[in-house]
Amino acid sequence: MSKKQMTRRALMETGVTAVAASSLIAGQSDAAAKERPLENVRFGLNLLVYTATFSADQVHLIQKVADMGYDGVEIPFNDLGVLDAKATGRAREKAGVGLTSCCVLLPGTSVTSTDSAERKIGVERVKRMADLTAEMGGDTVAGPLYAPVRELTGRARTADEWKWGVEGLRAAAEHAEKAGVILAIEPLNRFETHFLNITEDAIKLVKAVNHPNLKLQIDTFHANIEERNTPAAIRAAGPLLGHFHASESDRGVPGTGQVPWEQCFSALREIEYSGWITIESFATGIVDLCAAACIWRPIYKSADDLAVKGLAFLKAMA
């Protein structure tokens, strides 16, 4: 049958066949990817699910998390003055686990501030967090390392802010290389920052800095708000993905919300991701922490329940 002779019905049938074939190929590809387990990934738990500020009297949490079956812990870096790096390092070593740090910039320490003195303070804070992480035996400093959370200007990011971010993060990355850790910058949702909301921009920022010790982080909670397609964002990040936060859409137990977990893990397999997969949620009994995270209702049965069930789910996905 020539193209001129082809009927509308024939065209429709041909189209259906093509779509079916395409779906079959895609399905076979997804199935093949799922058969390949993620190799060398490590599972971590962010201790913000237990405490807002980590200090020496809370190092017992490291063994607790290790006993649950995690490969490592993520230490929240808020008030650096209360951290005991030596005690934390000893507890980590005794528990036989790895460590990452969840880092934020406090008001007055923005790397993208219009105030040059504040930018310098911000860079020094990132450097200090890199040193503390290394002293504890950790390998990754992750978070919004460009500006304080919810420091919004009421306008879009400016060219100057971008330039200052590149300059500051390059200086911090150079220091992180000496410390033996990597920095992973995290895009946040639009309600928490105007500087970096999507993976596409994080990729551009990492490439602009152009240093091997600066990578990016994807958090599925923020991605669920900002990305059009989280698995596609993971694929786009590729080897630049240095850290991964497995957070449910409501910060509850992973697997109980609307994050497309199967597709996300398929994308992680495709890029051969081999870093940390860390659960991040927040202690619902701490008023100030809940206010900072805008959590106004119970989102899980208990912190232990989230940690145990979340780990089991993620391991099943991997």
Residue 131 covered by a domain: yes
Written as tens digits, the pLDDT of the chain (318 aa) is 444 444 444 434 444 344 344 444 444 445 544 567 898 999 999 999 999 889 999 999 999 999 999 999 999 999 999 999 999 999 999 999 999 999 999 999 999 999 999 999 999 999 999 999 999 999 999 999 999 999 999 999 999 999 999 999 999 999 999 999 999 999 999 999 999 999 999 999 999 999 999 999 999 999 999 999 999 999 999 999 999 999 999 999 999 999 999 999 999 999 999 999 999 999 887 878 888 888 888 889 999 999 999 999 999 999
Environment class of residue 55 by beta-carbon count within 10 Å: exposed (0-12), middle (13-18) or buried (19+)? middle
Residue 28 covered by a domain: no
- Measure Cα distances from 85 to 20, 138, 150 in Å: 57, 10, 28
Spatial contact of 121 and 109, defined as CB atoms under 8 Å apart: yes
**CATH, residue 158:** 3.20.20.150
Specify the pLDDT at position 308. Answer: 98
pLDDT, one tens digit per residue, over 168-200 is 999 999 999 999 999 999 999 999 999 999 999
- Structural domain range at position 278: 41-317
Nearest to 204 by CA among 162, 144, 235: 162
Residue 23 covered by a domain: no
Q: Give how many domains the chain has, as a whole number.
A: 1
pTM: 0.88
Alpha helices in 38-100 (DSSP H): 60-67, 85-95
Which stretch of DSSP H or E encloses residue 242?
strand 241-246
CA angle 286, 287, 291 (to 5 degrees): 120
Nearest to 112 by CA among 140, 79, 144: 144
Residue 192 covered by a domain: yes
Residue 111 covered by a domain: yes
Residue 69 covered by a domain: yes
Residue 3 covered by a domain: no
Residue 34 covered by a domain: no
Specify the pLDDT at position 295. Answer: 86
Which stretch of DSSP H or E encloses residue 49?
none
Spatial contact of 157 and 202, defined as CB atoms under 8 Å apart: no
